[in-house]
């Protein structure tokens, strides 16, 4: 009988709260009412995407407000200068309470937290997806083939390299669907077939490619640069946007994922079932994708929860420094940066930081719990 675990229950509750707030942030905090009746007709302004007007100063026959009747960017002119939690906004449509107070511009803190949940959920989901796909692919390939495993002919290598260069060259200026791109593709393939047709030993024999060495030496160098300096350098030159944050965080975090995937693959590839598969004549791609990947996906998904926590930390420290997201989007880090200049208002100091802390803590706890489960299962299997 396992012990009753309080930490995991708290963290699952918080994660569910975070995901619900993030997914339905539009419905939970908005300036528009959820439903109202005007001139005998009923409206659903959020679902019908009405343009924003001053709903609060109008009289409606019947109206249902969302739980937080403020949006993260709207300013309450009556309550500027960071008012304490519980302060009211007096309007014709009723009194609206700021549950967690307002900041110096009169923006509602609760609405900001919900908008921050939405942003962090988006960033975590997409950048984790991107970096997991890329990291798992690279980790599987480098782990499975090692330094000797992958044997390639020179023309194939040439084809891959030249296609890569063509893509890079055309992605920046002239666009992918241009005439010169097609011409260069043709040139690449013609050269490839020419090289293949040369009856020369060097071109036709298979040489082993030290894939593992090449990729991991480069990544080691990449490791030695402090990541936040790199991110600041990038954001200093480019305008902030959500897509850019997602792509850059994915770029930074995939080496960590593929390191773990590689280690798991290394321990898996010497097992008997892979040898049996090789003896049966299965292709490498089948062995990797159908036999190794399902066996390592459980430990990998555990590590991904830890990575989700670190992504939240990176994102919030970036927005704490005022980089990353565009300035009109409220994030947890940005709200915390506000607190630095308004230390007397404790609600600004406490709540945004608590949300960052709680999401990181609950992701870490979930990861730890899952990994203990997997280890338990492994021990059981070994005993049998």
Partner 1 sequence: MILPVLGIVLLLTMILGHYAGEIPPYLLEDDTKRAYSEEQIEQYKEKSGLNEPFFYISINKKGDKSFYYPQIEWNSSKNRFHRYLSNFIIGNLGYSNFYKSNVWDVIKLPILRTVIINIIVLIIVYSAGLYLGFYQVLKQKSIIGKSFNVIGQVFYAIPSFWLAILLLWLLANSQNFYLFPTNGWIWNTNQGIINAILNLSWSLVLPVICLSFGSVIYIASIFQQKMTEETKKSYFKALLSRGFSRKYILRKHVFRIALIPVVAVSTDLIPGLISGSVIIESIFNIPGMGRMAFQAFFTKDFQIIYAITLMATVLTWLNWILADYIYSKLDPRVQF
Residues 6 or more apart in contact with residue 357 via CB below 8 angstroms: none
Of the candidates 334, 331, 309, the one whose C-alpha atom is nearest the C-alpha of residue 11 is 309
Whose CA is closest to 310, among 361, 352, 360? 360
Q: How far is CA 372 from the centre of its chain?
A: 25
Q: Pattern 352-371, binding to partner 1, x per CB under 8 A?
A: -xx-xxx-xx--xx--x---
Please select the residue that binds partner 1; options are 51, 239, 270, 344, rule is CB under 8 A. Answer: 344
Would you tell me how many other CB atoms lie within 10 Å of the CB of residue 246? 22
C-alpha 261/C-alpha 282 separation (Å) is: 22
Task: State the nearest-atom distance from the C-beta of 318 to partner 1, in Å.
Answer: 10
| 221 touching partner 1, by CB under 8 A | yes
Q: Does 243 bind partner 1 (CB under 8 A)?
A: no
Q: Which of 183, 186, 194, 213 binds partner 1 (CB under 8 A)?
A: 183
| 238 touches partner 1 (CB under 8 A) | yes
Which range of residues in 66-74, 155-163, 233-241, 279-287 is near partner 1 by CB under 8 A?
Answer: 233-241
The C-alpha atoms of residue 148 and residue 127 are separated, in whole angstroms, by 32
Stretch that binds partner 1, among 125-133, 231-239, 276-284, 291-299 (CB under 8 A): 231-239
Among 340, 373, 377, 378, binds partner 1 (CB under 8 A): 340
Nearer to partner 1, 40 or 226 (CB): 226
Burial profile 209-232: b = 16 or more Cβ within 10 angstroms, e = fewer = bebbeebbeebeeeeeeeeeeebe
Question: Which of 31/315 has CB closer to partner 1?
Answer: 315
Residue with smaller CB distance to partner 1, 192 or 203: 192
Is 226 an interacting residue with respect to partner 1 (CB under 8 A)?
Answer: yes
Angle subtended at Cα 183 by Cα 179 and Cα 188, rounded to the nearest 5 degrees? 145
- The residue within the footprint of partner 1, chosen from 349, 369, 370, 371 (CB under 8 A), is 349
**Strand partners for 29:** 68
Q: Crossing angle for the helix pair 179-197 and 154-172, nearest 10 degrees? A: 170
Q: Name residues whose C-beta falls within 8 Å of residue 41's C-beta, 6 or more positions apart in sequence.
A: none
Round to whole Å and give the CA distance between 81 and 345: 10
How many residues lie near partner 1 (CB under 8 A)? 49
Residue with Cβ nearer partner 1 (77 or 177)? 177
With contacts defined by CB under 8 A, name the span among 62-70, 101-109, 133-141, 166-174 that binds partner 1. 166-174
Name the minimum Å distance from CB 349 to partner 1.
Answer: 5
> Do 302 and 370 form a contact (C-beta atoms < 8 A)?
yes
Which residues here bind partner 1, judged by CB under 8 A? 7, 169, 173-174, 179-180, 183, 218, 221, 223-230, 232-238, 309, 313, 316-317, 320-321, 333, 336, 339-340, 343-344, 346, 349-350, 353-354, 356-358, 360-361, 364-365, 368
């Amino acid at each position: 009988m396992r012990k009753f675990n309080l930490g995991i229950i708290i963290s699952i509750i918080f994660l569910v709260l975070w995901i619900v707030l993030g997914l339905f942030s539009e419905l939970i905090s908005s300036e528009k009412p959820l439903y109202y009746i005007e001139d005998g007709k009923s409206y659903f302004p959020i679902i019908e995407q009405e343009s924003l007007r001053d709903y609060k100063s109008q009289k409606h026959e019947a109206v249902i407000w969302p739980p937080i009747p403020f949006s993260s960017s709207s300013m309450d002119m009556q309550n500027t200068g960071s008012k304490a939690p519980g302060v009211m906004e007096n309007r014709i449509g009723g009194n609206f309470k700021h549950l967690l107070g307002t900041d110096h511009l009169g923006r509602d803190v609760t609405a900001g937290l919900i908008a921050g949940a939405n942003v962090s959920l988006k960033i975590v989901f997409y950048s984790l997806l991107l970096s997991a796909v890329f990291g798992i692919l690279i980790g599987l390939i480098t782990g499975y083939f090692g330094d000797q495993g992958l044997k390639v002919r020179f023309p194939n290598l040439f084809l891959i390299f030249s296609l890569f260069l063509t893509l890079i060259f055309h992605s920046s200026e002239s666009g992918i669907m241009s005439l010169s791109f097609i011409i260069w593709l043709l040139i690449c393939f013609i050269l490839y077939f020419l090289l293949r047709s040369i009856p020369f030993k060097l071109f036709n024999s298979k040489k082993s490619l030290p894939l593992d060495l090449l990729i991991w030496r480069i990544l080691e160098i990449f490791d030695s640069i402090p990541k936040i300096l790199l991110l600041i350098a990038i954001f200093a030159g480019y305008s902030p946007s959500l897509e850019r944050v997602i792509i850059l965080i994915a770029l930074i975090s995939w080496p960590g994922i593929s390191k773990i995937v590689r280690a798991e693959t290394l321990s898996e590839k010497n097992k008997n079932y892979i040898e049996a598969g090789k003896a049966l004549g299965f292709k490498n791609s089948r062995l990797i994708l159908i036999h190794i990947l399902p066996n390592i996906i459980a430990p990998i998904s555990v590590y991904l929860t830890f990575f989700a926590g670190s992504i939240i930390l990176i994102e919030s420290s970036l927005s704490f420094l005022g980089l990353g997201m565009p300035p009109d989007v409220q994030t947890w880090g940005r709200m915390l940066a506000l607190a630095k200049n308004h230390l007397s208002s404790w609600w600004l100091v406490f709540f945004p930081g608590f949300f960052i802390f709680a999401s990181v803590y609950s992701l870490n706890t979930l990861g730890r719990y899952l990994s203990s489960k997997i280890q338990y299962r492994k021990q059981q299997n070994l005993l049998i």
